[in-house]
Amino acid sequence: MTIPNADRAIIAAEKLTAYLLNVSHKRGAAKARLLLGLGYQTATPQVVESDLRTQHLSLDITRTSENLYGVVYEIEGPIKTPSGKTVRFCSIWQVDTGTDVPRFITMYPR
């Protein structure tokens, strides 16, 4: 089963530019170094977004859980990166209580 309403998923630009691709971010720096090393660029965060949409959101859910804010979905699978290397990532998505649209939370290598 894939994430419900994956075609309407929200991937906030700030999540990509201020966190995942920001080597100065307290918690995201290691992820940023990895992603930049795989050919992603801070100037073109839409490439990360496109890869998540086309290569991850079509995959089946690996795990589902609930927290205070809604339902959390995890997807594990390969992403072919701009460098040409394929890396297995876990992406985290949340459907907040009272909504039906998934929201991107984070991703990390597996």
Is residue 96 one of the residues assigned to a domain? Answer: yes
Kindly report, residue by residue over 14-35, the tens digit of the pLDDT: 999 999 999 999 999 999 999 9
Distance of CA 109 to the CA centre of its chain: 11
Distances (CA, A) of 100 to 3, 40, 69, 93: 10, 30, 13, 12
> pLDDT-based confidence at 87, cuts 50/70/90?
very high
Asked if residue 1 is part of any domain, the answer here is no
- What is the predicted pLDDT for the residue at 37? 98
pLDDT, residue 21, reads 98
Please give the model's pTM, rounded to 2 decimal places.
0.94
Please count the structural domains in the chain.
Answer: 1
In a domain, 85, yes or no: yes
The whole domain housing 78 covers 6-109
